[in-house]
Structure 1
Amino acid sequence: MARFLMIAYTTYMHDGRVKRHAEALAERGDHVDVICLATDEQPITNGVNVIGLPMPRYRGESKSAYLRSYTRFFAMAARRAARMSMKLRYDVVIVCTMPDAVIVCAILPKLLGSKVVLDVHDTMPELYRDKFGGARGAAGAKLLMLEERVSSWWADRVLAVHDLHRDRLQQAGVPADKIHVVMNSPDTRIFDRHKNGDSPPNQFTLICHGTVTQRLGLDLAVSAVAALRSEIPELRLEVIGEGDRLAESRALVDRLGLGNQVSFMDLVPVEKLPPLLVKADVGLVPYRPSSATHLMLPVKLLDYATLSIPVIAARLRTVEYYFGDGAVELFEPGDVADLARAIRLLYNNPDLRARLVERSRHALDALNWQTQRSEYYRAIDSLVAERLSQENFDGRERTPE
C-alpha cells in the first residue's frame, strides 16, 4: 500500500478532478490524505481522508485579495503537510493548481524523499491576462509563465488535462518527458451515460453549470434566452454555480425581466449533479474567445455528453479538436445571435439532438474514465517505482563490503 498526499486550493466535494483522482487511489487500497478548503457540509469521501482548512475560497476582482488568500492557504497547508510527512513519509505528494505556486507546500515532503506531482488544472498566465487585461495583465502573465516553469522544474511529474494543454506546457519550456495527459473524464459511477431525466412538461430547458465568470459567458446565454422568449415561450435556462460574476448575472436577469425564464442554484456536490443535469434538453457551453478558453476542454461539456445531453458549445480550438465532427452544435463565440440560432435549431429539431448525442458518445469513447484512470495510475506508479528503486540503490551504497 502506497501513501499519497494531495494538496488543492479547492473544496473536495465540488472539484470532480481532485475527488476522482483521490478516490481512484483509495479504491485500490492506497492511503490517501487530501488537504483542501473546508466546507460546512461533510463530503462523501469513499475511503479518502479529507483535511479541510478553515478558510474561504476567494473569487473576485482584487489581485491583492487573491494573493492574500493564496498565501494564507500555502502557510496552513505547508504546515499540515510538514507535520504529517515527518510523522510518516508519503510516497507521492500531488499538488493541484491553481495556483502553480502551491507546489511550495510540498518542499519539505520532497526534501524528506517524497516524489512530487504538479497537476495543472488550468494555465494561469492566460487566465490572468484575460481576467485583468492591459499592460499590467500582460506583465503579470509573463511572471506567471516563469512561475509555471519553476514549479514544473521542481516537480517530478506534470499532469496536463488534454493533448493541446500538453503542447502548450512544452512550448513554455516544460520537458516533454515530465508531462502525462490525464483528461477530465467524468466518473461513470456518478455520471451514467443513460439519460433518464425528463424536462418538466411544456418546457424546453437549457442547463449551464460551473464557475460564473466573464470569460465563461453566462451573460451571453441569458441574452440569447431574452432574444428567444417571444419565439419560444417555453424556453428556460437553469444555472448551477458560483463565481465573481454571479451577482452581475442575476442583475442582468432582473434587468431583462427574465425572472420566470432563468433560475439559479448554488453549487452542489459532484454526486448530486447528474439528477439535476439530466432534466435538461440541452447543455450550454457559452464561453467567450480568449487565449485561456481556446485551451479549455470544458468539464461541463464532458458531463453533458456523458449523460447523453445534446450540447451547444462555442467554437473554440480545443472543443473543435475533440468534438468538432458534428458531436456538438457549435456557435461563434461571443455572438448572442448565433447562440440564439443554435438554440432555435435544436429546439425545432429533435432528430438533430439525437444525432448530436450519438456522435458525442463516439467522441467520448477515447476519453472515458476507465482509460484515463489507467493513465493516472501509470503516471503516479512510475514515480513510486522510481522512489523505491532509489531507496534500494541508496541502501546498497551504504552497505559495508
Structure 2
Amino acid sequence: MNNNKLNSDLSKRVLMIALSTYDYDARIIRYCKALKEIGVETDIICFRYMDNEKTFETVDGVNVYRIINYTDKDSILRYILFSLRFLVKAFFKTISLHKKNNYSVIHIHNMPDYLVFAALYPKIKKVPVLLDIHDLTVELFKEKWSDRKFKLFKPLLIFTERISCNFADHIITVTNECIDKLVKRGIKREKISLIMNAPDDQLFTYDDLRFRKNGSDKTFRILYHGTLAKRFGLHYVVEALKIVNDSYPDVEFHIYGNNESDYANELKSLAARLGISEKVIINKSIPHHKVNELIKNYDLGIVTYEPTEYMHLAFPTKAGEYALTGLPIIITELKAIKTIFNNDSVIFVKTPESQSLANHIIDLLQDKNKRKIMAENSVRDISKVSWSKMKEKYIMLLSYYGV
C-alpha cells in the first residue's frame, strides 16, 4: 500500500495504550508523528503525570486520554497495583473508544506485557493487536529483585510474557538481542519485527556551537536525561565529579528525570557527603520536544549503564539523541550499543567506575578537538539507524495489517 492511498483513507485510525505519559515518551511520540504524516488518526490511552495535564486534550493532532493519575512505582507491589488499576481502566476505555472510532489497529506498549489484554474487545472484533516490547520483563526483574525472589517468580514472568505475546498478532521490539531472547523462550521469530529505539533525525539536529564557546563561559557541563535508577550508574559519575573538581572546579553535572525518586535522593545525599552539592543539579523531567534545545547547552553526555544482562539488551535513545546533536558521549560498552557506535565515535568504558570516568572527563574537557571529531563520527554512526529508517519499517508493518 503506497502513501498516497494511506493519505486518502481518512477512516484509518490507530489506538495506542501505554503505562506512560505521552508528552515525555519519545518512542510513542515518534510513532504518532509517523502516523500523522501518512494521514492516520491516532488516539492514546496513558496516565496523567503532571498536575497541570488535562484528562483529555489533543496534542499535535493526537487525542490523548489520561485515565489515571501517576503514583510512585518504586516498589514492586506499588507497581503491580498501579499497573492493574491502569489495565482495568484501559480495558473499559478501549471498549468505549473502539465502539466510537472503529480502530484499524491497537498498538500496546509494554511494560507490563499483560497490558495487551486491555485490547480484548477489539481483538474479539478481529482488530489486529501489536505488542511493542520496549523492555524484556524477565531480564528487567532479574535485575531489580534478589536472586531468591526472582527464582520464585521467574516461571510466572515467563508465562505472562508468553501468553501476552501469543495474544498479540505481531510483536515489535527494540534490538536484535531482545529478539534472540524472545525466540529462545518460544516466540516465533517471524512474528517479531525490529524497530529500534532510534532518535528522531527530524527533531534532533547537529550543532557545533558547543565547540565554539567564547572565553567567558568556562563551565564544562555534563548531561544525563531520562530514567533515574541505580542501574544507570549515575552515582559513579557523581563520585567522578568529586575527583575532577579537585583539579577543575568549573565542571557541573546536570541530571533531568524524576527528581523526587529514591535514587535522585540518593544522588543528592552522595553529592552532599562529597561536598559538591552545588555541582550536581538534579532537575525535573522535561517534555520530549524540548530535549533538542536542552542538549545544545552541554559539552558531554553520560550513558554509564551497569553492564548487566538486561542492560546489554538495550539501546538507550538518549545516546542516539546526543549523537545526532553532536554531543560527545562517554558510554558503557554494551552489546546492543557496540552494534551501532565505533571506537572513534564515543568513549567506551567496560564498567562505570569513578576513577576511570574522571580520567575520561578530564581528557575530554582538555581536548576540544577530540570532542569535535567524536561528535562528527557519532553522527555518521547513528544516521545508519535513525528514525527515518525505522519509521519506514513501522509504516510497512501497519500496511500489512490494512492501515
- Measure, in 1, the Cα distance between the counterparts of 2:76 and 2:218: 45
Residue 237 (str. 1) matches residue 253 (str. 2): yes
Residue matched to 1:9: 19
CA shift, 1:334, in A, is 3.3
1:344 to 350, 358, 362: 362
SS in structure 2 at match of 1:330: strand
CA shift, 1:196, in A, is 4.2
- Measure, in 2, the Cα distance between the counterparts of 1:180 and 1:54: 30
Residue deviations 1:324-344 (CA, integer Å, cap 9, x gap): 432210112232222112212
8 Å Cα contact 1:314/1:333 also seen in 2: yes
Residue matched to 1:191: 204
CA shift, 1:83, in A, is 1.1
Residue deviations 1:116-174 (CA, integer Å, cap 9, x gap): 00001111111111111221123323422221121111111111112222222222222
Residue matched to 2:72: 58
Residue 18 (str. 1) matches residue 47 (str. 2): no
CA shift, 1:313, in A, is 0.3
**Structure 1: where are the runs of 5+ without partners?**
386-401
1:47 to 50, 61, 67: 61
- Measure, in 2, the Cα distance between the counterparts of 1:175 and 1:129: 23
SS in structure 1 at match of 2:116: helix
8 Å Cα contact 2:222/2:298 also seen in 1: yes
The amino acid across from 1:211 in the alignment is T
- Measure, in 1, the Cα distance between the counterparts of 2:223 and 2:209: 16
- The residue correspondences of 1:89-108 to structure 2 (distance < 5 A) are 89-108=102-121
SS in structure 1 at match of 2:256: strand
- Measure, in 2, the Cα distance between the counterparts of 1:35 and 1:289: 33
CA shift, 1:102, in A, is 0.5
- Measure, in 2, the Cα distance between the counterparts of 1:363 and 1:57: 38
Residue deviations 1:68-88 (CA, integer Å, cap 9, x gap): 001100011111001111234
8 Å Cα contact 2:207/2:296 also seen in 1: no
SS in structure 2 at match of 1:239: strand
TM-score (norm 1): 0.91
- Measure, in 2, the Cα distance between the counterparts of 1:30 and 1:215: 38
Question: Which piece of structure 1 moves more, 165-174 or 14-23?
Answer: 165-174
Q: Structure 1 pair 244/172, CA: closer, same or farther in 2 (3 Å)?
A: farther
**Structure 2: where are the runs of 5+ without partners?**
1-9
Residue deviations 1:88-119 (CA, integer Å, cap 9, x gap): 42110000011111101011110012100000
- Measure, in 2, the Cα distance between the counterparts of 1:226 and 1:138: 39
- The residue correspondences of 1:114-153 to structure 2 (distance < 5 A) are 114-153=127-166
Residue matched to 1:397: none
- Measure, in 2, the Cα distance between the counterparts of 1:141 and 1:274: 39
8 Å Cα contact 1:224/1:339 also seen in 2: yes
SS in structure 1 at match of 2:141: helix
Residue matched to 1:71: 84
The amino acid across from 1:107 in the alignment is L
- Measure, in 2, the Cα distance between the counterparts of 1:351 and 1:27: 39
Residue deviations 1:272-295 (CA, integer Å, cap 9, x gap): 112111111110001112111111
The amino acid across from 1:122 in the alignment is D
The amino acid across from 2:242 in the alignment is A
8 Å Cα contact 2:138/2:157 also seen in 1: yes
SS in structure 2 at match of 1:95: strand
- Measure, in 2, the Cα distance between the counterparts of 1:240 and 1:299: 14
Residue matched to 1:30: 40
CA shift, 1:44, in A, is 7.6
Aligned-pair identity in percent equals 28
8 Å Cα contact 2:131/2:171 also seen in 1: yes
Residue matched to 1:204: 220
The amino acid across from 1:373 in the alignment is K
Residue deviations 1:207-227 (CA, integer Å, cap 9, x gap): 011011010111111111012
- Measure, in 2, the Cα distance between the counterparts of 1:308 and 1:44: 32
Residue matched to 1:109: 122
- Measure, in 2, the Cα distance between the counterparts of 1:332 and 1:113: 48
Residue matched to 2:264: 246
- Measure, in 1, the Cα distance between the counterparts of 2:123 and 2:76: 30
- Measure, in 2, the Cα distance between the counterparts of 1:5 and 1:143: 28
Residue matched to 1:262: 280
CA shift, 1:59, in A, is 2.8
SS in structure 1 at match of 2:172: strand
Question: Which piece of structure 1 moves more, 301-310 or 359-368?
Answer: 359-368
Residue matched to 1:388: none
- Measure, in 1, the Cα distance between the counterparts of 2:36 and 2:184: 34
The amino acid across from 1:82 in the alignment is I
Residue matched to 1:155: 168
CA shift, 1:345, in A, is 1.7
Residue deviations 1:38-68 (CA, integer Å, cap 9, x gap): 24246882211111113214331x2211110
SS in structure 2 at match of 1:370: helix
TM-score (norm 2): 0.91
- Measure, in 1, the Cα distance between the counterparts of 2:58 and 2:65: 13
Residue matched to 1:389: none
8 Å Cα contact 1:89/1:112 also seen in 2: no
SS in structure 1 at match of 2:226: strand
Residue matched to 1:355: 373
CA shift, 1:195, in A, is 4.2
2:321 to 303, 312, 315: 303
